[in-house]
Amino acid sequence: MKMSEIIIDFARWSRRVRKSRVAVVSGEVTRVVGLTVEVVGIKASIGEVCHVIVPGRSRPIVAEVVGFMQGASILMPLGELQGIQPGNQVVPTGRNLTVEVSDDMLGSVLDGLGRQIGGKTAGEQKTKFPVDNQPPNPLTRQRIAQVLPTGVRAIDSVLTCGQGQRIGIFAGSGVGKSTLLGMIAKYGKADVNVIGLIGERGREVKDFIETDLGEEGLSRSVVVAATSDQPALIRLKGAMVATALAEYFRNKGLNVMLLMDSVTRFAMAQREVGLAVGEPPATKGYTPSVFALLPKLLERSGMSVEGSITAFYTVLVDGDDMNEPIADAVRGILDGHIVLTRRLAAKNHYPAIDVLSSVSRVMSDIVNPEHLSRAARLRELLSTYLQAEDLISIGAYNFGANPKIDDAIRHYDNIIEFLRQHPEEPYEFSETIDWLRRLGD
């Protein structure tokens, strides 16, 4: 037999193999318990996506493997459970969840799985990007050495943020977290914004996009919205999708700003998943996997070899308790925290930032000595006044009794005016520093 005949014969058999129907190993649903689906007959790893075939439906129900129990795989649907029944065929896909990304997706609004639900339609040139990624190698991260202006005077002056820093915004409900995030998104000096609205009320999503973010802010942002009515796994994946989009733009060398509201609802979603697969509750009902997953999410932002992700994560503190488990865990991971208080909000002081309870851990590395000393003086004046506020309010303090208190009284009104800011009034970083310089003179 000639060599040419062997080549021709191989090509013919290759075409037949490509056209042949390959047997797919599948399993079947045995029961549904709470939010989970038990499946037997498949071999799939944690995080692998599976398709549940439901007769009468044009599309399969997408589910993810979240655990194993007594020979069965535990799946959690990335959607609703309606229609699933014992005996439904389950087909593993052999891959984890991915999201479609492109360079021209700015202005888009996506759901928790990265599917477009509004905003500008992205182009056709899309690629698949993995949702679950590892944080950058700590030895390849660049150091934070450059200021990232936010346009908010209270932050830029006393809590200066660095490019690639990760900051938590800690507050109870209704004290202005979303408004502050909108200001940072509109006025911050980043190339791209990625905004994750995790567990938000459905009404608030459109309010945030149209009122707090605005058309200008949306034009350079990608919004991921996983509302509170969505299953726990979708809320969980919404945070991962938002982080993956930020990583995609960072890998292109861009300076990205990631704004996530809120980490607390992300933790609550993981608690639901953990309890559903049989994890024991630990601290205040939160399962151990919650505290294991938080650093895996939060460490993915920050500096890398090229590009950066400057991240602001809101933390909804339970009962205004700044030491509740999630707040305490997040504060220990991030590079600084901004505290919003109901006391200031009740005085119509917005943004309601308590600068004395807040800190930026990288500020001393990125600002000049004069800026640092001016910020320290503002803190000292404000702290001195608040310590003597009761005496001053009832008229029991005699002016001249204490030079430090006298100085604080003279500057107090100007400091409060400086720390207040209307949401529609952005300030350049140089303007803020000039204000800060004049305050101390």
Domain end residue (candidates: 63, 96, 129): 96
Domain of residue 32, CATH code: 2.40.10.170
Cα angle, residue 201 at apex, residues 200 and 206 outer, rounded to 5°? 90
Is 66 in contact with 75 (CB distance < 8 Å)? yes
- pLDDT recorded at residue 17: 64
Residue 294 lies in a domain: yes
**In the predicted model, is pLDDT for residue 366 greater than 60?**
yes
- pLDDT recorded at residue 402: 86
Residues 304 and 196 in one domain: yes
Residue 5 lies in a domain: no
pLDDT tens digits along 131-163:
999 999 988 899 999 999 999 999 999 999 999
Q: Which residues pair with 37 in a beta bridge?
A: 32, 75
Domain end residue (candidates: 96, 111, 133): 96
Residue 25 lies in a domain: yes
Residue 337 phi, psi dihedral angles, 5° rounding: -145, 140
Residue 407 lies in a domain: yes
**The residue type at 196:** G
Q: Which range among 59-68, 117-126, 270-279 shows the weakest confidence by mean pLDDT?
A: 117-126
Domain end residue (candidates: 96, 119, 154): 96
Residues 413 and 299 in one domain: no
pLDDT band of residue 237 (cuts 50, 70, 90) is very high
Domain of residue 308, CATH code: 3.40.50.12240
Residues 278 and 399 in one domain: no
Residues 136 and 225 in one domain: yes
Residues 336 and 390 in one domain: no
Residues 189 and 286 in one domain: yes
Number of domains within the chain: 3
Residues 382 and 344 in one domain: no
- pLDDT recorded at residue 123: 67
Residue 3 lies in a domain: no
pLDDT tens digits along 208-234:
888 888 888 888 899 999 998 888 889
**Of 223, 295, 246, nearest to 266 (Cα)?**
295
Domain that holds residue 408: 371-438
Find the mean pLDDT for residues 307-327.
Answer: 88
Domain of residue 404, CATH code: 1.20.1270.330
Say how many C-beta atoms besides its own lie within 10 A of residue 359's C-beta.
16
Residue 319 lies in a domain: yes
Residues 90 and 106 in one domain: no
Residues 319 and 188 in one domain: yes
Rounded Cα distance, 104 and 318, in Å:
39
Residue 243 lies in a domain: yes
- pLDDT recorded at residue 365: 92
pLDDT tens digits along 327-345:
999 999 999 999 999 999 9
**Of 296, 303, 280, nearest to 329 (Cα)?**
296
Residue 1 lies in a domain: no
Distances (CA, A) of 209 to 44, 150, 186, 279: 39, 18, 11, 37
Q: Which residues pair with 154 in a beta bridge?
A: none
pLDDT tens digits along 68-77:
888 899 999 8
Rounded Cα distance, 38 and 347, in Å:
53
Residues 386 and 401 in one domain: yes
**In the predicted model, is pLDDT for residue 2 greater than 80?**
no
Query: How large is the greatest C-alpha to C-alpha distance in the chain, in angstroms?
Result: 113
Query: Whole-prediction pTM value?
Result: 0.88
Distances (CA, A) of 269 to 262, 272, 327: 11, 5, 16
Residues 67 and 206 in one domain: no
Rounded Cα distance, 73 and 84, in Å:
16
Residues 152 and 293 in one domain: yes
Report the Cα–Cα distance between both ends of the chain, in Å, rounded: 98
Q: Which residues pair with 167 in a beta bridge?
A: 312
